[in-house]
Amino acid sequence: MIEFKDLKRQYAALKDEIDGAISDVLKVCDFISGDSVRRLERELERYIGVKHCITCANGTDALSLAAEVLGIGEGDAIFIPDFTFFATGEIVSAVNATPVFVDVDNDTFNISPSALEYSITQVIKQGKLKPKAIIPVDLYGLPADMLRIRQIAEKYNLMVIEDGAQGFGGSTNGLKACSFGDISITSFFPAKPLGCYGDGGALFTDNDEYANTLRSLCVHGKGSDKYDNVRIGRNSRLDTIQAAVLLVKLKAFEETELSKLNKIASYYSENLKGNFILPTIPQGFYSSWAQYTLRFKDKQARDAAKKKLFENQIPSLIYYPKAMRNQTAFNGKGLYFGNGGTDLLCDTVLSIPIHPYLQDSEVFTIINFVNKL
Ligand SMILES: *Cc1c(COP(=O)(O)O)cnc(C)c1O
């Protein structure tokens, strides 16, 4: 049976190592801030190529901790893509800053640098809010155009928080996703490219001061020890058991899973042909294929395709059915200077199964059915 993401097969493949890692934690009962947490942070620093990794309770916390450390608050304009998971915008409003929804590039699904620069100049022109930060998202595993985004950030003196919740494992010009922000984040939600067995997240930065503050904020604003509280923080830690699972999964991700994902994506890209558009990976970019997403000509064609795949036992999902700026929760809370480009994507995208435990025969079954749509 073809699953959209097959965590059961992954567990079957890694069972001995994962069971061993969990039982090692059970033997010493260091459930909070145990040895595996530190080891995982060192491994992630090596993998991403940054000075500091700070694990935390989930990706949403990671985003809001980053916003807090960068001093984002009331009166600040924060530029985010209009096409992403809700959390990217949610954390902006949660600290009373104003989200500015920016159109994405239809071919890469990532924030459009030209639309971004236009939105920044419009906010400056209005003169009401202070442009403060950009939160580019590495959607579906593909890093955003970080080189251009960083140039724009420097030109207008903005901070960058890279939302790499879906981007872990991707890279551009040899540099890894989650290394491009003043602070970058990822999520270990089970279905993400590197997932744990519950909630989890991490922050990445080269800045020593940000790293120290983040380590403190995650543990009730601790100072020299946890009963010396020097700031108002929160409790946002990654459990030792989750870290132990992630150490096993990171090894599998590096050794086999990421290259398998790219092999499946290239089978798709070479063999899928029909009334749909395939995802584009620009020159110099490498995706971790959190999703493989087709675009159809209109909503009717997309919905019909989804139904037909379902009838043939091929799961497919719509990421995302609604533009961020149209979410009820943002009613009147954000700014938008675009032309509604995201709405077309919401009506026409369809993600088909991709995970490292798909067998070649299953990949060709999928190709076969999709080509008949
Ligand atoms: C999943 C996701 C998040 C949130 O991560 P959680 O760990 O679920 O809190 C944030 N941003 C994007 C783009 C995501 O896909």
pLDDT at 332: 84
How remote is the CA of residue 290 from the centroid of ligand 1, in Å?
A: 12
Between CA 187 and CA 44 the distance in angstroms is 13
- The residue contributing the CA closest to ligand 1 atom 1 is 165
pLDDT at 142: 98
Ligand 1 pocket, mutate which of 64, 82, 86, 166 (most atoms under 8 A from CB): 166
Between CA 135 and CA 138 the distance in angstroms is 10
Between CA 371 and CA 373 the distance in angstroms is 6
Q: pTM of the full predicted structure?
A: 0.97
Q: Are 146 and 172 in contact (CB under 8 A)?
A: yes
User: Measured from the CB, is residue 59 less than 6 Å from ligand 1?
Assistant: yes
User: Measured from the CB, is residue 163 less than 6 Å from ligand 1?
Assistant: yes
Ligand 1 pocket, mutate which of 88, 162, 185 (most atoms under 8 A from CB): 88
Between CA 164 and CA 149 the distance in angstroms is 14
Atom number of ligand 1 nearest to Cα 139: 13
User: Measured from the CB, is residue 319 less than 6 Å from ligand 1?
Assistant: no
User: Measured from the CB, is residue 64 less than 6 Å from ligand 1?
Assistant: no
Task: Classify 308 in phi/psi space as left (phi over 0), alpha (psi -120 to 50) or beta.
Answer: alpha
Instruction: Annotate 180-196 with DSSP letters as a single string.
Output: SSSEEEEE--TTSSS--
pLDDT, tens digit, 9 for 90 and up, residues 184-201: 999 999 999 999 999 999
CA neighbor of 346 nearest in space, from 44, 181, 80, 109: 109
pLDDT, tens digit, 9 for 90 and up, residues 311-354: 999 999 999 999 999 999 999 899 999 999 999 999 999 999 99
Between CA 288 and CA 247 the distance in angstroms is 18
pLDDT at 224: 87
pLDDT at 227: 86
Q: Are 317 and 94 in contact (CB under 8 A)?
A: no
How remote is the CA of residue 85 from the centroid of ligand 1, in Å?
A: 7
pLDDT at 346: 97
Q: Which residues of the chain have pLDDT under 70?
A: none
pLDDT, tens digit, 9 for 90 and up, residues 264-301: 999 999 999 999 999 999 999 999 999 999 999 999 99
pLDDT at 226: 76
